[in-house]
Structure 1
Amino acid sequence: MEIQTFPNEIVFFDLETNVPNKTGQHFHILEFGAIIVCPRKLEELESFTTLIQPKDLSMAPLRSSRSDGITRAKVTDAPRFEDVAEKIYGLLNGRIWAGHNIRRFDCVRIKEAFAEIGKAAPEPSGIIDSLGLLSDKFGKRAGNMKMASLAAYFGLGVQKHRSLDDVRMNLEVLKHCSTVLFLESTLPDQLEGKWQSSSKIMTRSRSHHQMVQKAMPYTKGSLGKMTQNVKNILSKAQGTQSLQSLIKHSHSLLR
């Protein structure tokens, strides 16, 4: 493979895999999705997604509880990992990798997949794991640090657990969280103490796929209004504020 590096570009990526139900059973990649983002303008420069056929088709579920979930029938005619490895390598190698819980999961699975086909794995120029960063800086304001909960908190819709949809949601969640932190650091007196009272939202349980009610740590009408202001700021800032700039002013989130 020709080695190319793009150290100033960010690639948000996500993997969908099987869920091992036996001791010693391995994860198998069933879908890969990625978007390349310009850090200066937050513009999506390129996107790619593909279903992936596992070597053992029995590792793909026969059915899914989600309307657009990944099933064995959907991956039966999909390319194998070795067929798309060069494309995935080209998207990831030398760029800043970004995603939710990618350090412990997605990065590991990518290295395993390349090792299985006897090829060198891509290397990042840096890693932005929104799970670790937001756990430290944003806290459990959404009840927990799951992407579905964070998205519901900001009114960004329901997580679909499809790779391309999830990476785009990840970018939006990170922008919203960064802007809230920026506003708090800019207006500490006005926003101090707004997290004490509680409101509630509905979110879906990942294990049981049922709607449950969770307490949200903001006063109805206070943070709710601020979140809407955040969305307005983001929409007006496109092309003038970079993700790195927002994060830098949000308590140095990238450190």
Structure 2
Amino acid sequence: MRIDIVSVFPEYFDVLNLSLFGKAQAKGLLEVATHNLRDWTHDVHHSVDDTPVGGGAGMVMKPEVWAECLDELLGPDELLGSQPSVLIFPNPSAPLFTQRDATELSRASHLLFGCGRYEGYDARIPEYYRAQGVDVREYSIGDYVLNGGEVATSVMLEAITRLIPDFMGNPESIVEESYTGEGALLEHRQYTKPAEWRGLRVPDVLLSGDHGKVDRFRRDEALARTDKIRPDLIETLDCTQLDKADRKTLMALGWEVSGPHPRRLQ
């Protein structure tokens, strides 16, 4: 996968040389390049923003600077539709970025991130590139506002790249994670040795050596945690895919499971 990141603070992404992300680049799984948006300016102050049309506080990033940058990084093949890339802008006003999005984007060959600053980027930028046939995505990572798109880009990159084959040392480690796969639930709690620490003991079933009981315990805890913290995820489960034990657990938690999806009993 090739990844290009445009920012007025490209040095922020030095962190991508660390840990698994850095190892993936060394192995050739990822090719990452950061770019300073100011390199595409032509004035003495390297200005990338201007006052909002219609008035208001703050500054808005200028479309002409972004266009020169994106035209060059996408290249004529992309703009002609023959070399598909995904152009991504973090935006607190956009749809929420999810594990499903991360899974889809992990299969892309080229991701280009545009990190906004100030009051954001001119709305015509994504509009223009969509009209040229570019796959443009705008995502929020949560119901809050950051100073710029760098943090959000880093979050999305972590979620996306760890799903690339051979990125993780043990691919099984992502199978039961929160939000993963169809019928996604929050992950069960994890423990390690010692079995007892400061008066707190690991649940006995995890020490039993009975893998069937351990799997059932973890599944039941995942259902219970999801019911408590994210009941909206329970509502998306397909009841036809639930086994007898799942149904029993959900009924005990106050869910009706006879329909296509679980429904909270009043």
* Structure with bigger gyration radius: 2
Q: TM-score, normalised to structure 1's length?
A: 0.33
Q: TM-score, normalised to structure 2's length?
A: 0.32
Structure with greater contact order relative to length (CA < 8 Å, sep ≥ 6): 1
